[in-house]
Amino acid sequence: MALRLDGKQLAAQLEVRLQLQIQKGMAAAGRSPGLAVLRIGDDPASAVYVRNKEKACARIGVESFGSHLPAHASQQEVLTAIRQLNADERVDGILLQLPLPEGLDETPLLAEIDPNKDADGLHTLNLGRLLKGEQGPRSCTPAGVMVMLRDQGIDPAGKRAVVVGRSILVGQPMALMLQAANATVTVAHSRTQDLKSITRQAEILVVAAGRPEMIGADHITPGCVVVDVGIHRRPEGGLCGDVRAEELEPIAAALSPVPGGVGPMTVTMLLVNTVVAWCRRHQVALELSDLVV
Ligand code: NDP
């Protein structure tokens, strides 16, 4: 039976550490860390995500600076809101909640965020820093995967890793992080021929294809560590990932569940990015180095 990569439990443990780090740094910093989530429009799913992030902030002592602009906000109004948050001394992390309403161009807006306050780690400069192995906030989902693996003593060094998916949000930074951890990495995508022959070579398989239950027992070699990033709502209710968990559980060495695997770690890494930025700005001794991927 596969070891359960329990992201929910690990996220709860990490929240305790983040809380302690904040308490220890308060005297030197003179204020709590601050995260600003900028939401435009009324997408109901985004409202739920933002509320969850704000609740997580409240649990550990990060101040939330929620900013909500109407769906008809202009590009210039959003730019101005971002610039105000860049200049706000109380804010250590900024997140622009995607997707944006139609008519707004996300690329120049994301580029406007101060790279050192880029809580999502998706600014072009921070992706470049990841590529070059330089310090900077890392993309939350793949960083959360790396922390989950490390927590279970799964060292990618020397292993054959396969990442299914090459998005800027997940697949690409995931491949770079695994490579930085000395895995030998193959990236598969929608044009990959004979996917099974590639995924069967994996000792660590990360699936971020956004295709419900596409990976089954015949895609892996028994003993593989499988991380399922995908998250989908089943038409009949409930959630599933990109892998057929019931097929993989008996043969994989480890498997992340959906829900309760990568999802909770993504939110936690947002908090890590914010608290680490706060520590660096105020020269607070960092006790979270093992979470900095
Ligand atoms: P994208 O749709 O942006 O990217 C999907 C990637 O998978 C693309 O590179 C695509 O290839 C590739 N792909 C699609 N179909 C196949 C296929 N049949 N075989 C091989 N590769 C394929 O998705 P994201 O990266 O944003 O997200 C992936 C999944 O992860 C989604 O289910 C999303 O909901 C989930 N997610 C979960 C998070 C969490 O916290 N748990 C956070 C972020 C995402 P190509 O480039 O050729 O199109």
Q: Which atom of ligand 1 is nearest to the CA of 166?
A: 9
CB 277 within 8 A of CB 117: yes
User: Has residue 109 been placed in a domain?
Assistant: yes
Q: What percentage of the chain carries pLDDT values higher than 70?
A: 100
In this structure, what token pair is assigned to residue 292? Answer: 């900095």
CA atoms of 288 and 286, how far apart (whole Å):
6
User: Has residue 159 been placed in a domain?
Assistant: yes
Ligand 1 pocket list (CB less than 6 A): 141, 164-167, 169-171, 188-192, 195, 208-211, 214, 229-231, 262-263, 266
187 and 244: one domain?
yes
Q: Whose CA is nearest to atom 39 of ligand 1?
A: 263
User: Has residue 96 been placed in a domain?
Assistant: yes
Instruction: Confirm whether 172 is a catalytic residue.
Output: no
259 and 148: one domain?
yes
* pLDDT tens figures, 131-140: 999 999 999 9
How many Å is the Cα radius of gyration of the chain?
19
92 and 154: one domain?
no
User: Has residue 288 been placed in a domain?
Assistant: no
CATH no. for residue 217?
3.40.50.720
User: Has residue 9 been placed in a domain?
Assistant: no
In this structure, what token pair is assigned to residue 175? Answer: 């491949």
182 and 218: one domain?
yes
Per-residue pLDDT at 139 = 97
Task: Give the side-chain half-sphere CA count within 13 A for 210.
Answer: 8
Which residue type occupies 84?
Answer: Q
In whole angstroms, how far apart are CA 100 and each of 36, 107, 123, 159?
16, 11, 16, 39
Query: Residue 231 belongs to what domain range?
Result: 140-263
CATH no. for residue 43?
3.40.50.10860
- For residue 6, what pLDDT band results from cuts at 50, 70 and 90? very high
Residue 240, SS3 per DSSP:
strand
Per-residue pLDDT at 66 = 83
Catalytic member of 120, 151, 228, 242: 120
Average pLDDT for residues 19-47, to the nearest whole number? 96
- Phi/psi of residue 262, each to 5°? -70, -35
168 pLDDT higher than 90: yes
Instruction: Confirm whether 120 is a catalytic residue.
Output: yes
Average pLDDT for residues 215-220, to the nearest whole number? 98
157 and 247: one domain?
yes
* Count of domains for the chain: 2
- Look-up of token digits 């790396």: 146
* pLDDT tens figures, 190-202: 999 999 999 999 9
Average pLDDT, rounded, for the chain? 97
User: Has residue 25 been placed in a domain?
Assistant: no
Q: How much is the pTM?
A: 0.97
217 and 254: one domain?
yes
